[in-house]
């Protein structure tokens, strides 16, 4: 009996000395093993919130089990993308009309099913009062940095975001300040210097992780396209602030696959050089006019890269032409089923 007790005590001691794995370490391992396996996790923005012809906002109480993707291929995406735009003001809904409480339920449901959640943030322009696309001032970033006139106000914006993210109680991939290699947003390359951009990212990280204790997030950075990708290491806050090197790259014409591969080559070198994961953080072809786009173009372009996940944008329920994933009856649905069955992709059942 005594011997047994000692053996149990030694096992317990050894277990307590073993390095602890945090939820975000586990998340990172899941992404790494996908990248190593040569299979890419598929993700869809707002997948459980609404689809081409439906919206959970119209339901009295949603179970968040409906999904355009799931209706087409019988599997939920591995990755669910959600956007926090509006949380900074304390709004009840995000910029695309998703109720934040409903988003919390959807995010948890997705995680319970074995999926992974990624959060982007199309936040308002704190200086002009405009939206994320309001690039009318080159002073916005400077105004919220330490010493800027709106710094304290911006801390309140981050407090609201932090409270919401903590309330999800799941590890997430956080992807702020995206597409900064172009001038789309007030934090883009036409609105701030590389030094200001890097300071913005570092401040966000230090505040959310250091002050607010949000340690269970992986941080993804994602320039848009990359004709000038050679420049983008300058708009990079440093290895200690980033876990995933992303890329946002959409299809507009026939040169998509070729141009995407050229970008992925550069992205892969950068990710390897910095020892980071690689992801295609936003992609898609609005309205998917090519019925064989999924296997014929997208998969063909990405399959030889160690990409952990790719995420296609949303199927807006109020804009019939604005969809990036199939829905029942869509012309590309059959091809998407092939994409889902391919041994190069991972959906939710493949990752749990
Ligand atoms: C864009 C469009 C917009 C949307 C924004 C943020 O690409 O889908 O309608 O508001 O993303 O989700």
Q: In this predicted model, what pLDDT tens digit does every residue of 69-82 receive, in sequence order?
A: 999 999 999 999 99
Query: Which pLDDT tens digit goes with each residue over 136-149?
Result: 999 999 999 999 99
Q: Is the CB of 314 under 6 A from ligand 1?
A: yes
Query: Which pLDDT tens digit goes with each residue over 102-159?
Result: 999 999 999 999 999 999 999 999 999 999 999 999 999 999 999 999 999 999 999 9
- Asked whether residue 16 carries a pLDDT value surpassing 70, the answer given is no
Which residue of 93, 119, 122, 179 sits with most ligand 1 atoms within 8 Å of its CB, as the best mutation to test the pocket? Answer: 122
Query: Which pLDDT tens digit goes with each residue over 28-71?
Result: 999 999 999 999 999 999 999 999 999 999 999 999 999 999 99
Which residue of 313, 319, 324 sits with most ligand 1 atoms within 8 Å of its CB, as the best mutation to test the pocket? Answer: 313
Output the residue whose Cα is nearest ligand 1's atom 7: 313
Task: Give the pLDDT of residue 226.
Answer: 67
Task: Give the pLDDT of residue 160.
Answer: 99
Instruction: Using the structure block, give the residue that is written with the tokens 């141009």.
Output: 259
Query: Which pLDDT tens digit goes with each residue over 215-257?
Result: 999 999 999 986 666 667 899 999 999 999 999 999 999 999 9
Q: How far is the CA of 148 from the centre of ligand 1 (A)?
A: 29
Going by C-alpha positions, the residue among 300, 262, 254, 260 that lies closest to residue 280 is: 260
Q: Is the CB of 178 under 6 A from ligand 1?
A: no
Task: Give the pLDDT of residue 249.
Answer: 97
Q: Is 53 helix (H, G, I), strand (E, B) or coil?
A: coil
Average pLDDT over residues 164-177: 98
Q: How far is the CA of 282 from the centre of ligand 1 (A)?
A: 11
- Cα 246 to its chain centre, rounded Å, is 9
- Asked whether residue 173 carries a pLDDT value surpassing 80, the answer given is yes
Task: Give the pLDDT of residue 1.
Answer: 45
Query: Which pLDDT tens digit goes with each residue over 253-284?
Result: 999 999 999 999 999 999 999 999 999 999 99
Runs of H (alpha helix) within 219-344:
256-274, 300-302, 333-341
Q: Is the CB of 110 under 6 A from ligand 1?
A: no
Task: Give the pLDDT of residue 232.
Answer: 76
Q: Is the CB of 96 under 6 A from ligand 1?
A: yes
Going by C-alpha positions, the residue among 178, 157, 220, 235 that lies closest to residue 24 is: 220
Q: Is the CB of 68 under 6 A from ligand 1?
A: no
For residue 122, give the ligand 1 atom closest to its CA. Answer: 6
- Asked whether residue 4 carries a pLDDT value surpassing 80, the answer given is no
* Residue 298 C-beta-side C-alpha neighbours within 13 Å: 34
- Cα 260 to its chain centre, rounded Å, is 19
Average pLDDT over residues 329-351: 98
Q: How far is the CA of 249 from the centre of ligand 1 (A)?
A: 14
Give 6: exposed, middle or buried? Use CB within 10 Å, 0-12, 13-18, 19+: exposed
Q: Is the CB of 122 under 6 A from ligand 1?
A: yes
Interacting residues of 94 by C-beta distance below 8 A, sequence separation 6+: 82, 83, 84, 85, 86, 87, 100, 103
Task: Give the pLDDT of residue 21.
Answer: 87
How many Å from the N-terminal Cα to the C-terminal Cα in the chain? 40
Beta strands 79-83 and 54-55, pairing class: unpaired
Output the residue whose Cα is nearest ligand 1's atom 3: 96
Task: Give the pLDDT of residue 2.
Answer: 47
For residue 46, give the ligand 1 atom closest to its CA. Answer: 12
Q: How far is the CA of 227 from the centre of ligand 1 (A)?
A: 23
Output the residue whose Cα is nearest ligand 1's atom 9: 96
Q: How far is the CA of 313 from the centre of ligand 1 (A)?
A: 8
Alpha-carbon gap, residue 24 to 229, rounded angstroms: 29
Q: How far is the CA of 83 from the centre of ligand 1 (A)?
A: 9
Output the residue whose Cα is nearest ligand 1's atom 10: 96
7 or 46, higher pLDDT: 46
Interacting residues of 212 by C-beta distance below 8 A, sequence separation 6+: 158, 159, 162, 166
- Asked whether residue 194 carries a pLDDT value surpassing 70, the answer given is yes
For residue 83, give the ligand 1 atom closest to its CA. Answer: 12
Q: How far is the CA of 126 from the centre of ligand 1 (A)?
A: 19
For residue 319, give the ligand 1 atom closest to its CA. Answer: 9
Average pLDDT over residues 303-321: 98
- Cβ atoms within 10 Å, residue 252: 9
Q: Cα–Cα distances in Å, from 216 out to 26, 32, 304, 326, 350?
A: 10, 16, 30, 32, 23
């Amino acid at each position: 009996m005594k011997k047994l007790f000692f053996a149990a005590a030694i096992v317990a001691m050894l277990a307590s000395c073993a390095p602890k794995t945090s939820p975000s370490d586990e998340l990172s391992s899941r992404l790494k093993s996908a990248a190593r396996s040569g299979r890419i996790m598929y993700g869809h923005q707002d997948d459980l919130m609404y689809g081409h012809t439906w919206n959970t906002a119209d339901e009295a109480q949603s179970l968040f089990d409906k999904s355009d993707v799931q209706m087409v291929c019988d599997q939920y995406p591995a990755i669910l993308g959600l956007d926090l735009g509006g949380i900074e003001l304390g709004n009840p809904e995000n910029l695309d009309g998703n109720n934040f409480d409903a988003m919390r339920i959807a995010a948890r449901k997705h995680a319970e099913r074995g999926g992974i959640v990624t959060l982007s943030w199309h936040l308002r322009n704190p200086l002009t009062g405009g939206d994320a696309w309001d690039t009318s001032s080159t002073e916005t970033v400077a105004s919220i940095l330490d010493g800027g006139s709106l710094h304290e106000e911006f801390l309140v914006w981050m407090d609201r975001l932090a409270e919401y993210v903590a309330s999800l109680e799941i590890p997430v991939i956080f992807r702020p300040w995206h597409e900064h290699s172009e001038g789309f947003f007030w934090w883009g390359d036409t609105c701030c210097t590389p030094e200001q951009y890097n300071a913005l990212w570092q401040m966000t990280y230090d505040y959310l992780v250091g002050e607010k204790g949000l340690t269970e997030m992986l941080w993804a950075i994602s320039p848009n396209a990359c004709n000038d990708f050679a420049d983008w290491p300058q708009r990079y806050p440093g290895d200690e602030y980033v876990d995933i090197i992303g890329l946002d790259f959409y299809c507009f014409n026939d040169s998509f696959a070729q141009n995407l591969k050229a970008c992925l080559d550069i992205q892969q070198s950068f990710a390897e050089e910095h020892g980071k994961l690689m992801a295609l953080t936003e992609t898609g072809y609005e309205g998917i006019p090519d019925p064989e786009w999924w296997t014929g173009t997208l998969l063909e372009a990405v399959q030889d890269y160690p990409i952990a996940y790719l995420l296609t944008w949303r199927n807006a329920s109020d804009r019939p032409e604005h969809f990036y994933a199939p829905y029942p009856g869509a012309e590309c649905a059959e091809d998407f089923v092939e994409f889902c069955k391919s041994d190069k992709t991972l959906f939710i059942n493949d990752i749990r």
